[in-house]
A and B are shown apart, each in its own frame.
Chain A
Amino acid sequence: MMEFGFSISPSSTMNLDKVDFSLYERLCEVEPDAKKCMACGSCSATCTAGPWTGMSVRKVILDIQRGKEMEAARLLKSCMLCGKCSMVCPRGINTRHLILSLCRIYKEEEK
């Protein structure tokens, strides 16, 4: 099969009434800018780690909005905190700071 550099995501459905939004709510408390994300993907396009690890800030935010905490945590491990995503965000979100805040929340949850 040919490699195009992107892949097809399988169709899926989710019952948002049963999703736990507590992590997203905590994130919005410390980083209100998280609500500004319009999922444009500029952060994903510029991510240095993205092509090799699948890291994508857009996907991290989307996963947290859907209660997929484990998937988001797995992606965050690949972030090198280079900050390129912050430079290109058209909504001016400090994505690097958002990632750090998110890691802090995860760490507090571990305790």
Chain B
Amino acid sequence: MIYQGKQKIWSDYQKEIPDDHWFYVRSCIRQSFFPASEKYFLKICRDLLGKDIYETEHHTTCGGIAYHSDTIPQETAMTIVARQFALMKEAGYKNLVTSCITSFGNYTEIIETWREFPELEAKIRENLWKACRREFDIPKYVAHASDLVYKFRDDIAGMAKFHLVDGVTGEPLRVVEHIGCHYSKMFPHKGIGGAEYPCVLSGMVESWGGHVIDYPERRHCCGFGFRQYLVRANRGYSVSNTHKKFESMEPYHPDMIITNCPGCPYFLDRWQYVISEMEGKTYGQNGYGIPALTYEEVAGLVLGFDPWDLGLQIHQVAVEPLLEKIGIPYNSKTKYLGLNGKEIMKPGLPTVLKCC
């Protein structure tokens, strides 16, 4: 196919992302598990890129986690979302950026549902008015925070102090990219690259010097699946999915995993410990695991922020071998020091999975 033809087809897979002025909504899970990721997203966007990103303390859950766990009906989730839109309207913003992939999917699904069923939108407007006397506008653009980092990936690469390359050999790191299911599997045209070629993370990795691994189960779910994990009797499903992915990526010897979903880094990280205790198997080199990081953590490492400020000690899998491979300096004595140098608790060591 001629080059122009390819470019024309590829342009259909692109997504318009405004340059500036965003209303930011945080993630329930990420605030608990990876709070530094959200902090550094805001820091990179505001301080380094000079963007206007607004957030309000009145923001609550989007209801997505309860909706996908079958504990609340969709109308309830819609009314919660309508309130977030009302907060955005009150703040004077039109572009919504979400930290969470499930929130992104939830907002997109609700907007699409209202487009198909305007009478439902009218009902939700009434519900919101009765509940809290607020009115809302539908956002002009909804983006996931990784869309913004993807958009500014080359700016970040321009400020990079480290690259995703082996500091000794100069070879690119072998990186597994894992995109959350609710990013573009539900509404393909809402994700960069659609459902077939989602490139939001692979674009970042390539821009920052890494090599993306293509392996058979690349688009398989991480295993979280809400009820798969939340209902204990179903947890075998969750860990089996993760196990399937790791078995599939193992022959390619990945150095790290980059993710853009709240659940994925958590489960790809913690299930490595569970698999090691169940089967005695580890997937990294020399008995270590494969670090599963968020894209903000990877961006932070590339930009030269302190690994412990980025919260990398919160991960189950030790990141020190990766830091040493890239050549990023770290102080092992400050790993478990919190705010103002205060000691935070050290975790117990697993029996099989090697940790530093």
> Interface residues, chain A, CB within 8 Å of chain B?
1-2, 4-9, 11, 40-42, 44-45, 47, 50, 56, 90
Q: Are B227 and A4 in contact (CB under 8 A)?
A: no
Q: Interface size (B, Cβ < 8 Å)? A: 22
Q: Are B227 and A41 in contact (CB under 8 A)?
A: yes
The answer to whether B277 has its CB under 8 Å from any CB of chain A is yes
Query: Could you tell me the distance between the alpha carbons of A7 and B275 in the complex, rounded to whole angstroms?
Result: 9
Separation in Å of the B68 CB from the closest CB of chain A? 11
List 24 A-B pairs, Cβ < 8 Å: A1-B280, A4-B274, A4-B278, A5-B232, A8-B239, A8-B243, A8-B278, A9-B240, A11-B243, A11-B244, A11-B247, A40-B70, A40-B227, A41-B227, A41-B231, A41-B234, A41-B237, A44-B233, A44-B234, A45-B232, A45-B233, A47-B233, A56-B233, A90-B70
Q: Known interface pairs A40-B227, A41-B227. Does A1 touch B277 (Cβ–Cβ under 8 Å)?
A: yes
Taken residue by residue from 250 to 279, chain B's Cβ proximity to chain A (1 for < 8 Å, 0 otherwise) reads as 000000000000000000000000110111
Taken residue by residue from 305 to 342, chain B's Cβ proximity to chain A (1 for < 8 Å, 0 otherwise) reads as 00000000000000000000000000000000000000
**B240 neighbours in A (Cβ, 8 Å):** 8-9, 11
A91 nearest in chain B by CB position: B70
Query: Could you tell me the distance between the alpha carbons of A52 and B351 in the complex, rounded to whole angstroms?
Result: 27
Q: Known interface pairs A1-B280, A4-B278, A90-B70. Does A45 touch B243 (Cβ–Cβ under 8 Å)?
A: no
**Most A Cβ at <10 Å: residue of B233, B236, B247, B277:** B233
Return the 5 tightest CB-CB contacts between A and B, nearest first.
A41-B234, A44-B233, A2-B277, A6-B236, A6-B235
**B234 neighbours in A (Cβ, 8 Å):** 41, 44-45
Query: Could you tell me the distance between the alpha carbons of A90 and B239 in the complex, rounded to whole angstroms?
Result: 24
**A7 neighbours in B (Cβ, 8 Å):** 236, 239, 278
**A2 neighbours in B (Cβ, 8 Å):** 277-278, 351
**B280 neighbours in A (Cβ, 8 Å):** 1
**B274 neighbours in A (Cβ, 8 Å):** 4
Q: Are B232 and A1 in contact (CB under 8 A)?
A: no
A10 nearest in chain B by CB position: B240
Q: With A11-B247, A40-B231 given, name 19 new contacts (CB 8 A).
A: A4-B235, A4-B277, A5-B232, A8-B239, A8-B275, A9-B237, A9-B240, A11-B243, A40-B70, A41-B231, A41-B237, A42-B231, A44-B231, A44-B234, A45-B231, A45-B232, A47-B233, A50-B233, A90-B70
**B275 neighbours in A (Cβ, 8 Å):** 8
Query: Could you tell me the distance between the alpha carbons of A56 and B228 in the complex, rounded to whole angstroms?
Result: 14
A56 nearest in chain B by CB position: B233
Separation in Å of the B281 CB from the closest CB of chain A? 10
**B237 neighbours in A (Cβ, 8 Å):** 9, 41
Q: Known interface pairs A4-B274, A8-B279, A11-B247. Does A41 touch B239 (Cβ–Cβ under 8 Å)?
A: no
Separation in Å of the A61 CB from the closest CB of chain B? 14
Query: Could you tell me the distance between the alpha carbons of A9 and B223 in the complex, rounded to whole angstroms?
Result: 13
A40 nearest in chain B by CB position: B227
**B243 neighbours in A (Cβ, 8 Å):** 8, 11
Query: Could you tell me the distance between the alpha carbons of A9 and B239 in the complex, rounded to whole angstroms?
Result: 8
Query: Could you tell me the distance between the alpha carbons of A13 and B227 in the complex, rounded to whole angstroms?
Result: 23
Separation in Å of the B270 CB from the closest CB of chain A? 11
**B235 neighbours in A (Cβ, 8 Å):** 4-6
Query: Could you tell me the distance between the alpha carbons of A63 and B26 in the complex, rounded to whole angstroms?
Result: 41
Q: Are A6 and B232 in contact (CB under 8 A)?
A: yes
Separation in Å of the A58 CB from the closest CB of chain B? 8
Separation in Å of the A95 CB from the closest CB of chain B? 14
Q: Known interface pairs A40-B70, A45-B231, A90-B70. Does A1 touch B278 (Cβ–Cβ under 8 Å)?
A: yes
**A1 neighbours in B (Cβ, 8 Å):** 277-280
Query: Could you tell me the distance between the alpha carbons of A40 and B234 in the complex, rounded to whole angstroms?
Result: 8
Query: Could you tell me the distance between the alpha carbons of A7 and B278 in the complex, rounded to whole angstroms?
Result: 8
B227 nearest in chain A by CB position: A40
Query: Could you tell me the distance between the alpha carbons of A41 and B231 in the complex, rounded to whole angstroms?
Result: 7
Separation in Å of the B246 CB from the closest CB of chain A? 11
Query: Could you tell me the distance between the alpha carbons of A8 and B243 in the complex, rounded to whole angstroms?
Result: 8
**A50 neighbours in B (Cβ, 8 Å):** 233
B226 nearest in chain A by CB position: A40
Query: Could you tell me the distance between the alpha carbons of A7 and B274 in the complex, rounded to whole angstroms?
Result: 10
Query: Could you tell me the distance between the alpha carbons of A84 and B277 in the complex, rounded to whole angstroms?
Result: 33
